Structure 1
């Protein structure tokens, strides 16, 4: 895996421009490996990996058995990837890794709560369309597609195959659309994504890591705010709006001139109606 460091925000933009068509994931801590929330949860609380497949199956069964209570249309529960996407959306640990087609969305997620060096990982999805794992060249992206009935059970849940699939569910929710999102589905929970990619044959690099030093956070967050990349736009609901207030606490915008304030300017600097 190639590791690059952006000295400032313009250099990050330049580095991202070279990766047209790739997918991106922001990580709050630069040293964190690319592991799913399910991988981290199981490794911490259920260290015997032999039991992980059945634990994952049970989690999905429980969610399906109960989630229909809150749904007008329960069709999403019938397709494995859509079910996992819904679980992920609402905070359950899953094997899905959130990626985005936008390097700026990834940078926002990397930096928004970062207190040290963060990172944006870039996945070479154009190369991976055709790449296959060295141990079995027949395991193409189409053959293992978890959107097809039975494929998630066959290729992923047993944690036997160091492979991955990337893409969107057959139907996307508002958040996934707003974030230009897609999922990476690893075939093994025990291995970080970089190690799984070592099993793939490709002449091109499949993964790059762009380190975002802590010193560029203020510059980058201000630029992202002006681009309208905020929690309020990435999570188009009341939860997203509420989360967006956190950044409003950090910045102090220039106030209105004294004569405007006396004329009844609102607290956001705009004239009161």
Structure 2
């Protein structure tokens, strides 16, 4: 039986059942980041059982996938995109900005979306699939390694040292979505087994994961640990934490929209909803509630809005 992502995450996750607990979780992770001289970046996924893998890795999934194969596939995609959109693409100053632009137009890349804003990540964890729990991830990146790349940087992902990651912050002009979400991308090579990672297998026992199992669960070299698991000062592992959001998603969305009665524990400075996170034509096409009024009784476009 194939090991699932949740078999690993369940060993290290924090389960939150109230929005107040979620806020406390954010506070604790931010404190851990300060203690470890790290910056923290957040990601939300609507299904707690999903792996944390890039779209390109998912499309090319194989037992023997290599960084070289990913590099070659990405190079082909870049070459075709630059040819196809030579007259229509915005001002993109590097291959990384091209990849960011493609990623936010549903083209598979090796980039993984993150944000420094935990409430934006919470929105993505709770935007849909109301019958299942969502999940947020926190990745801690050492701030003394100068890992942040800007939009004009010429950088080859495969030159990232094994076991490390880099953070890419594109210019806001690349995509209105990226600007709205304070979006960054984390990039690096596939994970190795130099760092021991554990899983609960079909026999309900904990054991060390094999390389293929690690690669099926994460496409970057994250080392997920429990909140109470101390980090070694000399460790170069990319520390990561995760929380399973066992909360009514509709109530979370209301708090993020700053609506509803009673006290709200989530306190965004502005309304966070689909219009905020997807402020473009495609976002409107996918998520606007206007379709309910315009096309009464008809099927809605892909990505119908949920309240």
Task: Give the TM-score normalised by structure 1.
Answer: 0.72
Q: Which one of the candidate residues 14, 18, 37 is aligned to 2:24?
A: 14
CA shift in 2, pair 1:148/1:218, >3 Å: closer
Change (3 A) 1:250 1:175: closer
**Alignment correspondent of 1:225:** 257
Contact 1:120 1:212 in 2 (8 A): yes
* Count of residues in correspondence between the two structures: 231
CA distance in 2, matches of 1:186, 1:205: 11
d(CA) in 2 for partners of 1:64 and 1:249? Answer: 33
- Structure 2 unpaired stretches of 5+: 1-8, 31-38, 192-211, 225-231, 259-267, 293-302
Aligned pairs for 1:141-220 (under 5 A) are: 141=147, 148-149=153-154, 151-152=155-156, 155=159, 161-170=162-171, 172=173, 173-188=175-190, 191=215, 192-193=217-218, 196-198=221-223, 202=235, 206-213=239-246, 215-220=247-252
Who is 2:14 aligned against? Answer: 4
Alignment correspondent of 2:106 = 91
Q: Would you say the 8 A contact 1:36–1:95 is kept in 2?
A: yes
In structure 2, do the counterparts of structure 1 residues 195 and 176 end up closer, same or farther at CA, with 3 Å as the change threshold?
A: closer
Q: How does 1:101-112 map to 2 (within 5 A)?
A: 101-112=116-127
Per the alignment, do residues 66 and 47 of structure 1 end up closer, same or farther by CA in structure 2, a change over 3 Å counting? Answer: farther
**SS of corresponding position for 1:208:** strand
Structure 2 CA distance for partners of 1:69 and 1:111, relative to 1, 3 Å? same
Q: 1:176 to 1:48 in 2, by over 3 A?
A: closer
1:137 aligns with none
Separation of aligned partners in 2, 1:48 and 1:197 = 18
2:5 is matched with none
What SS does the aligned partner of 1:206 have?
A: strand
Among 64, 67, 70, the alignment partner of 1:52 is 70
Structure-2 residue corresponding to 1:234 = 277
Residue in structure 2 matching 1:25, options 30, 43, 67: 43
- Greater CA deviation, 201-210 or 16-25? 201-210
Task: Confirm or deny that 1:38 pairs with 2:60.
Answer: no
The answer to whether the aligner puts 1:124 opposite 2:149 as a matched pair is no
Change (3 A) 1:5 1:244: farther
Which of the pair has more CA radius of gyration? 1
**Contact 1:194–1:207 (Cα < 8 Å) also in 2:** no
More helix as a share of residues: 1
Unaligned runs of 5+ in 1: 132-139, 252-273
* CA RMSD in angstroms, aligned pairs only: 3.4
